Amino acid sequence: MKKRMGRMWLAALGIVLITALTSCQSPASEATFGASMGGVDHLPDYLSVSDFSVNGAEGFQAGTGGAGVPSPSLPDKWHPGLTVHVKWNVSNWKDNARSGSYEADVPVDRYAEHGNVYVHFLADGTVRVVVSNYYPWSPRYPGPHDPIPQKHPWDDYPQSWVDHRPLSERLKNLDSQK
| Structure confidence at residue 171 as a pLDDT band (50, 70, 90) | confident
| Structure confidence at residue 26 as a pLDDT band (50, 70, 90) | very low
Residue 57 lies in a domain: yes
| Structure confidence at residue 57 as a pLDDT band (50, 70, 90) | very high
Residue 144 lies in a domain: yes
pLDDT score of 166: 73
Render pLDDT for 77-122 as a digit per residue (tens, 0 to 9). 999 999 999 999 999 888 877 778 999 999 999 999 999 999 999 9
Structural domain total, the chain: 1
Q: CA angle, 176 as apex, 170 and 178 as ends, to 5°? A: 110
Residue 26 lies in a domain: no
Residue 24 lies in a domain: no
Distance between CA 62 and CA 40 in Å, rounded?
A: 5
Q: Is residue 13 classed as helix, strand or coil in its secondary structure?
A: helix
**Confidence check: pLDDT of 125 > 60:** yes
Residue 52 lies in a domain: yes
Residue 9 lies in a domain: no
DSSP 8-state code for residue 64: B
Residue 164 lies in a domain: no
Render pLDDT for 34-55 as a digit per residue (tens, 0 to 9). 899 999 999 998 899 989 999 9
**Confidence check: pLDDT of 70 > 50:** yes
- For 70, the domain range is 33-156
Residue 166 lies in a domain: no
Q: Is 25 exposed, middle or buried (0-12, 13-18, 19+ CB in 10 A)?
A: exposed
